A and B are shown apart, each in its own frame.
Chain A
Amino acid sequence: MAVISIERMGLLSVVCVSLFFSSTFAVDRGNFKTCDQSAFCKRQRALKPGQSPYRALLETLELSDSRLTLQLINDNNKVHLLLELYRLQGNMTRVKINELKPLKPRFEVPDVLIAEPPTEPLSVLSKDDNGVVLSLGAENQRLIVSARPFRLDIMEGPEVLLSLNSRGLLAFEHLRLHKDTQAQADGAEVKESVDGDQQQDEGKKDEDGESEKEEDGLWEETFKSHTDTKPNGPTSISLDFSLPGVEHVYGIPEHADDLKLKTTDGGDPYRLYNLDVFQYELYNPMALYGSIPVMLAHNTQRTMGIFWLNAAETWVDISSNTAGKTVFGKMLDFVQGSSEKPQTDVRWISESGIIDVFIMLGPKPSKVFSQYASLTGTQSFPPLASLGYHQCRWNYNDQEDVKSVDQGFDQHDIPYDFIWLDIEHADGKRYFTWDPHKFPQPKEMLQGLMDKRRKMVSIVDPHIRVDSGYKIHNEITSKDFYVKNKDGKNYEGWCWPGNSGYPDFTKPEMRAWWASMFAYDQYEGSMENLFTWNDMNEPSVFNGPEVTMHKDALHGKWEHRDIHNIYGLYVQMATAEGQIQRSGGVERPFVLTRAFFAGSQRYGAVWTGDNAAEWDHLKISIPMCLSLGLVGVSFCGADVGGFFKNPSTELLVRWYQTGAYQPFFRAHAHLDTTRREPWLFGPENTALIREVIRQRYALLPYWYQLFYQAHKTGMPVMRPLWVDYPKDTATFTIDDEFLIGSDLLVHPVTEEGSRGVTAYLPGAEEVWYDVHTFQKHNGAQNLYIPVTLSSIPVFQRGGSIIPRKDRVRRSSTCMENDPYTLYVALSPKKFAEGELYIDDGHSFNYDTKKEFIHRSLTFANNALTSSNLCPDCNFLTSSWIEKVLILGASKPSKVLLKMDGKETPVDFEFDTSMSVLTLRKPGMNAGADWTLLLQYQRYFQC
């Protein structure tokens, strides 16, 4: 950016005033609400655990095949609620609570569930005045409905797995008439309500009564200079969950915090409200750009999940009876046989909508992932190239700049796949256009990249410049697709282009139209190697309350309040759909989003937003992506180098080393930072960065296969250790190292000036091989690893086979036909297995035409065998197996390749010091059936 023009100055002054002027480098907390400043949260949180006023009216119980309904009554105000219970296929229970007769419909979140979840029959085991016992089918699981007070308990055998409303925190603010209009309303109802009031407990005063003072923010609420008119009055809901035997809960991203969720006693609850937080702080429960209301609970016996399907502002309180207890205290309890079982209590509070909860009963971690995936879908299967390295900056200034950066990668022999253009590429921040001076020939530029088999991403944000000369704005206006303000006029707010409108992405017609804008003839200058980045889709409104949209803005008949957290999902959904459509449904899309919700995993990648070039931000990238992975979003990454500020060279190198082993690998930098392309820090550092990017590319076959697995099963790609070692309590709080799939363990160096790290190698039965030296280490130990600036500690699990492409080229596409090297890491029992997945890397043909190769690789009894996992699949590859490394092997006398009924000898070398057997050029096609046989002298002698 050159000297700021007058026009920009105008915008900047708005930006400055509204959010950028924080003198220190930290979030301006005053811009964002605490629970106390959010009227419903304050109101709900004032309600303390105790006797619930809700009672189940057992006589209203109706049971169809798979659906049980029952009325609940609040004895304080006599408002009736309708409880619906479903037993879902795959060991899940759905609990819905709504008003029996709301004044008008309450919002139920659409488009998140991939389908109406299939149910299974429920049956009543017993029923009496106190309650009903239902069978949840197999495994001796029962659901107990207690009538007075109302509560639900899910049991397995004698164990309570989970209870609802056991602390009496169910609170459902029913729709009501404002007192001004109440006089004309039904007098009886008013009387009833007042009666209800008189019976209220002290603690529940705020909850349901209609005599509250206006200051309570029931009908209007002001934050800073913004007033939220609340035409519907109070509509919040709350419910508590108790998890006996659980000490570890995870999930509910996005928060810049540790993997294991903390108790929130004495502080604010974790907040879920998609917000554009400028210079966010770490280690606190403040809301960030995305929200996934899914929590996992884990202990050595079981993993469960709670999915709270609500898109309104949500707060989650966590408390624990063991919180604060020292390890010694816990031991004491154990020794003394303390009767108190550890328990975690969770409470969800949302501003509007209904209670719609999915309880995923696991019991294995993998089962919870598949259960959640069956509800909201799996990670989209990304184009292979998008798993390569992405080079981004705000901004690459012009075509010449793009060209020289592209050439820089070749000059320094560093691979990359995507170069990115931020907001300055568009003509006056009018997305779908190009700055005529800086990017006069976008197709020429894209063709230049295509000639190098590389790709580009341009940013398309959802705020649309209000400008009668802008096609997109005019069409949205004429189609009446903008979000409306409370008065029914087009909602307008400030964002990058200045005054902007916000398309109503909740409308299917709007999304269809938006998708059509990505057609090659609509998005002028676009080509098939141009992909998309959706930023600012919380939505960010510079001059709005908390830098987002007013809650009383309207999306059709629903308030923004109801849909806020899902807005960003819709933006990415419509954009991804546009990319699919432009190719006639053939090509896979690639769309990066900043805001997200449950289900966003179906549409592309997310990143952790505007982080900073600080060591703590590097550290936090691990738990932030781990938390997202646990709740479906595998394609996660953080800006390598840190967005704000300039990283030291050491930090930058360490960040590349960490980012190369995280799913979405993109370097990005703020406009005000100095240039930091990988070759700008001297030849030694260029070499270090080149090396680790090459490691990434060599492992692309493994990453790709893991994404295929994630897409098929919902298993996260980047995982906390406990997912694979669920009984090893030592793993439960680890978030400075992680697993990629089950087979690679990574402990990035995230301390400045570090000379060594201590990595925990899990699994008493396991051995782990250092992938750089092939040194073998035993599992279940804390291993001290001395490090230099070139070190990135990575271990391959004994018992695994990882395919790599060690011939690293300019881009992933250039490596398409290259041969594989198989890294066979033997377990102590001399066994190993792995998979190989190959397809064209970019189309849906793997799905629509079964054009892929999926093979199982097994090493057992001194034979390595490749067998077909998909016999009816058809795909031809010219890739072959150039080399096989067997780690932990002994020296054979002979190696034979058995293929097509023939046996041919294979050359090999054996490294005695590390026990590595290298098979030289066996040469079989990667899609073929074959066996490599290791023969030992004594074998023949026998």
Chain B
Amino acid sequence: MTCLHLLLTLVFAVSLGTPVEIQRPRGVPLTKKQFYEESKPFTCLDGSRTIPFDRVNDDYCDCKDGSDEPGTAACPNGSFHCTNAGYRPMFIPSSRINDGICDCCDTTDEYNSGAKCENTCKELGRKEREVLQKMAEITKEGFLLKQQLIEEAKKGQQEKQSKVTDMQENKKQLDEKVEALRTVKETAEQPEKEAKERHLKAWEEQKAAIRLEKDKAKMAETFLELDDNADGFVSVSELQSHAELDPDADGTLTEIEAQGLMGGAEQVDTSTFESVWPKIKDKYHSEVSREEADISCLEPAPVETPPDEVKEPVVDNDSEPYPEDDISEEEDEDDEDEDDYHEDDDKVSAQPTIKTPEKTHEDEEAMPPYDADTQALIDAAQKARDDFEEAEKALREMDDQIRNIEKELSFDFGPDAEFTYLYSQCYELTTSEYIYRLCPFNRVSQKPKYGGSETNLGTWGSWSGPENNKYLLMKYEQGTGCWQGPNRSTTVKLTCGKETVVTSTSEPSRCEYLMEFTTPAVCQEPANIDPSPHDHVEL
């Protein structure tokens, strides 16, 4: 019905086209016809001057506003009206009249240029109506979808809101629980600590007693060794046989020096040897087992190379064979990082191996196990600790969850939260070279189709549409830096569509990307009256 009506209108317009044109000067729209009356002088529309009517459209510009030459190119600022019956009427700058280029679909702008223009208004009108109709359908359906989205978003938001409230409630309880457990833990730890300390002290004392005994035994043994003639005395000369005891380290133990060691006496018996022993015990080499003594002497062994150190260069060598040229810088850096980790590992593992022998020598015996009471205290404390940590972890997780939801709730998802559904989604577009990925409110990225690493084209910045509707553009900023250039950024242009899809990407300026994205969320409510463009066709 609509179509038929349109056709009739068109025929009417075309058949009456010519007489209508005659009634007003070329290039004048119907709405301004009343200003151009052939019988009267013409006053420029800005009122600046009045000229005889025969100077209207006489191909000379008389009015500053260009209003005297609507149908010629004489004025630099004039505009020409094409009726474009069957399509949309429009104004073009008067500089496009007779310039050899067909601008008006009804060909009226090229009346004297020799340009061969065809009237394409019908065709254009048909196409436009098709497009508009399609658009209207899309808008309509899109708007319905949008309502759903809004509903869902509202629901979702409420759910989340209440979830957060619930969680916050739970969190309070958790908080209390953690605090309670902390007290339990601390209460259990105090006796544990005391019992452990006690145990340790006893062990230290025991160790000291053992050490003293050992020393005494060694002293007696030494006395016997030194007392070569077994007369029950160690004499100066007997002592001199041990050059290692030389206090000034000149290689020889002189008589005076030996005497000095023996506290001025010529000889000492076992009891007086007790005062000599502390002066010599560190240097003394046993005669019986020199080899053993050597080892004990060299005990700290700083010069000895621990086996692990030998390995280290091997690890280093491993990193060398990588051909430098073949890897991109980024990869290179990664490799270096890995190498660093390797080295660190080596150092960490090497240290204990150096220290271990010292320990085993010093503490020949391990600490005895805790007694049952102490162990019970320890076990109790450990359980309190575990319980506490578990609760604390649960609290942290709860916090994270709350934070995430709050973060989500804090995003500006549009006046009616219609963009909520895009959150935590990603949309891809594959071009001839790249796969583009838009994760709304998060980031935009680009990945070569045939292998290669992903490049960040920007992370969520803000809505940046025009003032009257900022929700038409999204801005993603601070992506990967460009060589000698800025950080990559992406503008996402949103248009109404039934589907949510990335329709195109481009890079108008280096490292500044433009992405087109359709979503029902920007569909506007269709106008109440059914859009029918032909209604505006002028007669």
Residues of A within 8 A of B (CB): 1-6, 9, 12, 20, 397, 400-401, 413, 437, 451-453, 671-675, 694, 806-810, 813-815, 817-819, 882-883, 920-921
Q: How far is the CB of A885 from chain B (nearest CB, A)?
A: 13
Would you call B95 and A883 a contact (CB within 8 A)? no
Complex Cα distance A564/B225, Å? 99
| Segment at the interface with A among B214-222, B403-411, B481-489 | B481-489
8 A Cβ contacts from B476-494 to A: 482-485
Interface of A is mostly: loop
Complex Cα distance A5/B433, Å? 9
The yes or no answer to B448 lying at the interface (CB within 8 A) is: yes
* Residue of A whose beta carbon sits closest to that of B95: A809
Cβ contacts under 8 Å, B74 to chain A: 807, 882
Given contacts A6-B452, A882-B59, contact A672 B485 (CB under 8 A): yes
Would you call B509 and A674 a contact (CB within 8 A)? yes
| Residue of B433, B448, B509 with most chain A CB atoms under a 10 A cut-off | B509
The yes or no answer to B455 lying at the interface (CB within 8 A) is: yes
Would you call A453 and B485 a contact (CB within 8 A)? no
Q: How far is the CB of B375 from chain A (nearest CB, A)?
A: 63
* Residue of A whose beta carbon sits closest to that of B99: A814
| Residue of B76, B485, B510 with most chain A CB atoms under a 10 A cut-off | B510
Residues of B within 8 A of A (CB): 58-60, 73-74, 76, 93, 95-96, 99-101, 113, 328, 432-434, 446, 448, 452, 455, 482-485, 506-512
- Can you identify 19 A-B contacts, CB atoms within 8 angstroms? A2-B507, A3-B448, A397-B507, A437-B432, A437-B433, A453-B99, A672-B482, A673-B509, A673-B510, A674-B510, A675-B512, A694-B76, A807-B74, A807-B76, A810-B96, A810-B101, A815-B99, A818-B73, A882-B59
Would you call B73 and A809 a contact (CB within 8 A)? yes
**Given A673-B509, A814-B101, A882-B60, 16 extra CB contacts under 8 A:** A1-B510, A4-B483, A5-B448, A6-B452, A20-B484, A453-B100, A453-B101, A674-B510, A674-B512, A675-B508, A675-B512, A807-B74, A809-B95, A809-B99, A815-B99, A921-B58
Cβ contacts under 8 Å, B99 to chain A: 453, 809-810, 814-815
Give me the 7 closest cross-chain CB pairs, A-B, nearest first: A814-B99, A921-B60, A675-B509, A672-B485, A674-B509, A3-B455, A809-B95
Would you call A807 and B95 a contact (CB within 8 A)? yes
Cβ contacts under 8 Å, A815 to chain B: 99
Q: How far is the CB of A631 from chain B (nearest CB, A)?
A: 35
* Residue of B whose beta carbon sits closest to that of A670: B510
Cβ contacts under 8 Å, A6 to chain B: 452
* Residue of B whose beta carbon sits closest to that of A452: B101
Q: How far is the CB of B72 from chain A (nearest CB, A)?
A: 9
Would you call A401 and B508 a contact (CB within 8 A)? yes
Would you call A3 and B100 a contact (CB within 8 A)? no
Interface of B is mostly: loop
Complex Cα distance A841/B525, Å? 54
Cβ contacts under 8 Å, A397 to chain B: 506-508
Given contacts A413-B93, A452-B101, A453-B101, contact A808 B60 (CB under 8 A): no
Cβ contacts under 8 Å, B482 to chain A: 672
Would you call B446 and A2 a contact (CB within 8 A)? yes
| Residue of B73, B96, B99, B452 with most chain A CB atoms under a 10 A cut-off | B99
Cβ contacts under 8 Å, A883 to chain B: 60
Complex Cα distance A5/B59, Å? 57
Would you call B95 and A810 a contact (CB within 8 A)? yes
Complex Cα distance A150/B432, Å? 73
Cβ contacts under 8 Å, A400 to chain B: 506
Would you call A671 and B510 a contact (CB within 8 A)? yes
Cβ contacts under 8 Å, A5 to chain B: 433, 448, 452
Complex Cα distance A865/B535, Å? 57
Number of A-B contacts (CB under 8 A): 80
Cβ contacts under 8 Å, A813 to chain B: 100
Complex Cα distance A521/B354, Å? 81
Cβ contacts under 8 Å, A2 to chain B: 433-434, 446, 507
Cβ contacts under 8 Å, B60 to chain A: 882-883, 920-921
Cβ contacts under 8 Å, A437 to chain B: 432-433
* Residue of B whose beta carbon sits closest to that of A1: B510
Complex Cα distance A453/B507, Å? 28
Complex Cα distance A813/B76, Å? 17
* Residue of B whose beta carbon sits closest to that of A818: B73
Cβ contacts under 8 Å, A817 to chain B: 113
Complex Cα distance A91/B199, Å? 119
Cβ contacts under 8 Å, B95 to chain A: 413, 807-810
Complex Cα distance A6/B325, Å? 12
Would you call A809 and B58 a contact (CB within 8 A)? no
Q: How far is the CB of B70 from chain A (nearest CB, A)?
A: 15
* Residue of A whose beta carbon sits closest to that of B508: A675
Q: How far is the CB of B440 from chain A (nearest CB, A)?
A: 21
* Residue of B whose beta carbon sits closest to that of A811: B99
Q: How far is the CB of B173 from chain A (nearest CB, A)?
A: 50
Cβ contacts under 8 Å, B508 to chain A: 397, 401, 675
* Residue of A whose beta carbon sits closest to that of B113: A817
Complex Cα distance A920/B51, Å? 13
* Residue of B whose beta carbon sits closest to that of A21: B484
Complex Cα distance A5/B451, Å? 10
Would you call B484 and A672 a contact (CB within 8 A)? yes
Given contacts A9-B328, A921-B60, contact A1 B96 (CB under 8 A): no
Complex Cα distance A413/B78, Å? 12
Among A9, A451, A671, A809, the residue within 8 A (CB) of B96 is A809
Q: How far is the CB of B507 from chain A (nearest CB, A)?
A: 6
Complex Cα distance A480/B213, Å? 101
Q: How far is the CB of B331 from chain A (nearest CB, A)?
A: 12
Q: How far is the CB of A389 from chain B (nearest CB, A)?
A: 15
Q: How far is the CB of A744 from chain B (nearest CB, A)?
A: 20
Cβ contacts under 8 Å, A807 to chain B: 73-74, 76, 95
Cβ contacts under 8 Å, B432 to chain A: 437
Cβ contacts under 8 Å, B59 to chain A: 819, 882, 921
| Residue of A400, A401, A413 with most chain B CB atoms under a 10 A cut-off | A413
Cβ contacts under 8 Å, A413 to chain B: 93, 95
Cβ contacts under 8 Å, B73 to chain A: 807, 809, 818
* Residue of B whose beta carbon sits closest to that of A807: B73
* Residue of B whose beta carbon sits closest to that of A4: B483
Q: How far is the CB of B455 from chain A (nearest CB, A)?
A: 5
* Residue of A whose beta carbon sits closest to that of B451: A6
Cβ contacts under 8 Å, B484 to chain A: 20, 672
Q: How far is the CB of A6 from chain B (nearest CB, A)?
A: 7
Would you call A806 and B328 a contact (CB within 8 A)? no
* Residue of B whose beta carbon sits closest to that of A438: B432
Q: How far is the CB of A342 from chain B (nearest CB, A)?
A: 48
| Residue of A400, A437, A672 with most chain B CB atoms under a 10 A cut-off | A672
Q: How far is the CB of B124 from chain A (nearest CB, A)?
A: 16
Cβ contacts under 8 Å, B113 to chain A: 817
Cβ contacts under 8 Å, B483 to chain A: 4, 12
Complex Cα distance A883/B62, Å? 11
Complex Cα distance A675/B446, Å? 21
* Residue of B whose beta carbon sits closest to that of A6: B452
Cβ contacts under 8 Å, B328 to chain A: 9
Complex Cα distance A612/B432, Å? 34
* Residue of B whose beta carbon sits closest to that of A437: B432
Cβ contacts under 8 Å, B507 to chain A: 1-2, 397
Q: How far is the CB of A287 from chain B (nearest CB, A)?
A: 25
Cβ contacts under 8 Å, B76 to chain A: 694, 806-808
* Residue of A whose beta carbon sits closest to that of B455: A3
Given contacts A452-B101, A671-B510, contact A3 B434 (CB under 8 A): yes
* Residue of A whose beta carbon sits closest to that of B447: A3
Complex Cα distance A806/B60, Å? 12
Complex Cα distance A807/B93, Å? 11
Complex Cα distance A3/B455, Å? 7
Complex Cα distance A819/B61, Å? 12
Complex Cα distance A437/B74, Å? 44
Q: How far is the CB of B49 from chain A (nearest CB, A)?
A: 10
Cβ contacts under 8 Å, B100 to chain A: 453, 813-814
Q: How far is the CB of A421 from chain B (nearest CB, A)?
A: 16
Q: How far is the CB of A695 from chain B (nearest CB, A)?
A: 11
